[in-house]
């Protein structure tokens, strides 16, 4: 009887750790649907999400070797959602087992990778991982147009905090879970902080992008590249920026200019 009570207490502690607030920087925003016109301006709804890698890290840190994921491809479906085209969309059912407890859920996407990761994250929510995302309200962000590649004119997190106050669910969760290493990372130079706030979403998939503007040796390399390895979305620097960078290199180091000119334009300096 005592042993059973001890096991129950230990498992209760595990569930609490799985459902603990997400670490700072784990939450991101993606556009959900097309922009709509409102009072002569364009707005799009953004929803909070976390990467599948964040879920795996939580599982591996709390229950290493004690969780298992099984995925089942479901029959093709037709979706009316604006998030992706119904043509070629697919769905998976995820069966997540932790310490003998099983939770299942279904995810959809435009391809196998997107659908399977969506199902995985939805099943993980049933164990409490990332549950605080559902507490966030609507986040409408002004866009620079209504086209397919329209971009937000401000960071979605900044827009959310401005409308809902600094005490939003995301801000409070990030503050309570922030680690010293992340705090040190946030204390980098003002230049890095100002640039990080204007990183645009991927023009192809709408996901998060790597910012390559700081420290890239080749001025012709992309300014941004999608973090999703299966997506080839990039944003190239303008011709004016390339010429200005090459001019500055010529003034400072003639040898470096020769190396930059010899480098191919398609080279990728982004470290990942």
Dihedral of CA atoms 256, 258, 264, 268 in degrees, nearest 10, equals: 0
What pLDDT, on a 0 to 100 scale, did the predictor assign at position 245? 62
The Cα angle at residue 267 between residues 198 and 210, in degrees rounded to 5: 25
Q: Does the pLDDT of residue 214 top 60, yes or no?
A: no
**Integer angstrom CA distances of residue 233 from 8, 144, 200, 204:** 48, 19, 11, 5
What pLDDT, on a 0 to 100 scale, did the predictor assign at position 10? 63
Kindly give, in sequence order, each residue whose CB lies less than 8 Å from that of residue 105, ignoring residues fewer than 6 positions away. Answer: 93, 94, 119, 122, 123, 125, 126
Q: Does the pLDDT of residue 71 top 70, yes or no?
A: yes
pLDDT tens-digit profile of 234-266?
Answer: 888 887 766 766 665 555 444 444 333 333 333
Q: Does the pLDDT of residue 163 top 60, yes or no?
A: yes
pLDDT tens-digit profile of 5-19?
Answer: 444 456 788 999 999
Average pLDDT of every residue of the chain: 75
What pLDDT, on a 0 to 100 scale, did the predictor assign at position 217? 66
Q: Which is more confident, 71 or 209?
A: 71
What pLDDT, on a 0 to 100 scale, did the predictor assign at position 239? 77
Q: Does the pLDDT of residue 58 top 80, yes or no?
A: yes
Integer-rounded Cα Rg, in Å, for the chain is: 22
Q: Does the pLDDT of residue 91 top 70, yes or no?
A: yes
Q: Which is more confident, 191 or 60?
A: 60
pTM for the whole structure = 0.54
Q: Does the pLDDT of residue 68 top 80, yes or no?
A: yes
Q: How confident is the model at residue 128 (pLDDT cuts 50, 70, 90)?
A: very high
Q: Which is more confident, 270 or 209?
A: 209
**Integer angstrom CA distances of residue 88 from 69, 111, 115, 182, 228:** 24, 7, 11, 40, 20
| Angle subtended by helix axes 52-62 and 112-125, to nearest 10 | 40
Q: What mean pLDDT do residues 80-97 have?
A: 70
Q: What percent of the chain has pLDDT over 70?
A: 66
pLDDT tens-digit profile of 100-123?
Answer: 999 999 999 889 999 999 999 999
One-character DSSP codes across 43-59: EEEEEEE--HHHHHHHH
Using DSSP's 3-state secondary structure scheme, residue 149 falls into: coil
Dihedral of CA atoms 37, 41, 47, 50 in degrees, nearest 10, equals: 140
Q: What mean pLDDT do residues 24-40 have?
A: 88
Phi, psi for 256 (deg, rounded to 5)? -65, -35
Using DSSP's 3-state secondary structure scheme, residue 265 falls into: coil
The Cα angle at residue 175 between residues 173 and 178, in degrees rounded to 5: 100
Distance in angstroms (rounded) separating the CA atoms of residues 270 and 272:
6
Kindly give, in sequence order, each residue whose CB lies less than 8 Å from that of residue 133, ignoring residues fewer than 6 positions away. Answer: 27, 48, 49, 50
What pLDDT, on a 0 to 100 scale, did the predictor assign at position 254? 45
CA atoms within 13 A on the CB side of 103: 15
Q: How confident is the model at residue 208 (pLDDT cuts 50, 70, 90)?
A: confident
């Amino acid at each position: 009887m005592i042993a059973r009570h001890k096991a129950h207490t230990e498992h209760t502690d595990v569930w609490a750790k799985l459902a603990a607030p997400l670490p700072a920087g784990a939450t991101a925003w993606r556009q959900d649907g097309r922009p709509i016109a409102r009072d002569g301006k364009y707005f799009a709804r953004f929803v909070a999400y976390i990467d599948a890698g964040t879920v795996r890290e939580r599982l591996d840190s709390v229950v290493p070797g004690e969780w298992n994921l099984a995925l089942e491809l479901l029959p093709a479906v037709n979706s009316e959602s604006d998030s992706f085209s119904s043509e070629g969309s697919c769905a998976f059912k995820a069966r997540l087992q932790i310490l003998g407890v099983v939770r299942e859920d279904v995810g959809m996407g435009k391809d196998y990778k997107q659908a399977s990761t969506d199902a995985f994250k939805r099943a993980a929510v049933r164990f409490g991982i990332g549950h605080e995302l559902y507490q966030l309200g609507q986040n409408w962000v002004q866009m620079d147009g209504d086209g397919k590649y329209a971009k937000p004119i401000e960071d979605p997190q900044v827009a959310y905090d401005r409308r809902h106050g600094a005490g939003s669910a995301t801000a409070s969760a990030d503050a309570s879970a922030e680690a010293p290493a992340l705090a040190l990372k946030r204390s980098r130079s003002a230049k890095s902080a100002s640039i990080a706030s204007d990183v645009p979403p991927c023009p192809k998939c709408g996901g998060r992008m790597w910012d390559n503007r700081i420290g890239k040796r080749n001025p012709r390399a992309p300014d941004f590249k999608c973090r999703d390895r299966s997506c080839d979305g990039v944003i190239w620097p303008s011709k004016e920026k390339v010429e200005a960078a090459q001019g500055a290199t010529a003034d400072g180091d003639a040898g470096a200019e020769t190396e930059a000119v010899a480098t191919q334009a398609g080279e990728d300096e982004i470290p990942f």
